[in-house]
A and B are shown apart, each in its own frame.
Chain A
Amino acid sequence: EDKVVQSPLSLVVHEGDTVTLNCSYEVTNFRSLLWYKQEKKAPTFLFMLTSSGIEKKSGRLSSILDKKELSSILNITATQTGDSAIYLCAVEAPGTASKLTFGTGTRLQVTL
C-alpha cells in the first residue's frame, strides 16, 4: 500500500524564521510528488517535482526531491503570518487509475 508520511505534524515559528517541512514516501512506480497549501478549505497547488525536475522555487518557497532517499523537503524563508496553513504532500501513484496519495499534512503557525 502506498504511504506518505509528513513531519513534523505541527510547528509554531516566529515571523521571519525559516522552516523546513519533510515528506517521505513509499510508493510503487513513483511518477511525481506535489506540495499543496491548505489555508481554510481548498488546497492550492504549490509545486510538482518529478525525476526531470527535482528542485522548484517560487519566491520564499522552495522544494527539493531526493529520489534516492524517497523524500522531499519544502523550505519557507522569512516566514510571514500569511504562511500559516496546513502543508500537504502528495505522491502520484499511477496504475489502473491515476490518483494522488496524500500525507496527513504539517500544520504551520507563524506568530508575530
Chain B
Amino acid sequence: GAGVSQSPSNKVTEKGKDVELRCDPISGHTALYWYRQSLGQGLEFLIYFQGNSAPDKSGLPSDRFSAERTGGSVSTLTIQRTQQEDSAVYLCASSPSGWGSPGELFFGEGSRLTVL
C-alpha cells in the first residue's frame, strides 16, 4: 500500500475483554515495529518483527500482550483481559531495512484504545 495502515482507528472496550489491533505495513518493508504512546508520554517500544520472526519482544509489558506477523506482511497485536492502564495509542511502523539498522521508520496513524 501507499502507507502504513492500521485498524481500527479507535476502539473502546470494557475491562477484561480481548482486543486485536491490525497493522498493514508498506509493501516490501521487512521490518515492522509496534510502539505504544500513552497520554503525555513518549513512544514506548513493544515488539519488533523481521519478516515473520520477532527477535525482540522485550517491550511487551505483560503476558497479556502478544503479536504475530504472517506472510511477512500484516501484523496483529492482541491484548487479552484488557486493563485500564492499557489505554493508549498503539502505533505501528515499518522500515525497508533488514538486519542492522532501522533507519527511518514509516508510521501508521495509530489505533486509539480506551479501556473503560
Contact = CB atoms under 8 A, between A and B. Distances in A.
B44 to A, nearest CB: 8
Contacts, number: 69
A98 B108 contact: no
Contact of B101 (A31, A90, A101): A31
B103 A48 contact: yes
B100 A98 contact: yes
Contacts of A36: 107
Report the interface size class on chain B: 20 to 34
Report the interface size class on chain A: 20 to 34
B56 A99 contact: yes
A75 to B, nearest CB: 20
Interface string B40-57: 111111001010000110
A107 to B, nearest CB: 9
Most B C-beta atoms less than 10 A away, residue of A6, A98, A101: A98
Interface string A34-63: 101000111111001000000000000000
Given A48-B104, A98-B97, A41 B48 contact: no
Interface of B: 4, 31, 33, 35, 40-45, 48, 50, 55-56, 89, 91, 97, 99-110
Interface of A: 4, 6, 31-32, 34, 36, 40-45, 48, 88, 90, 92, 94, 96-105
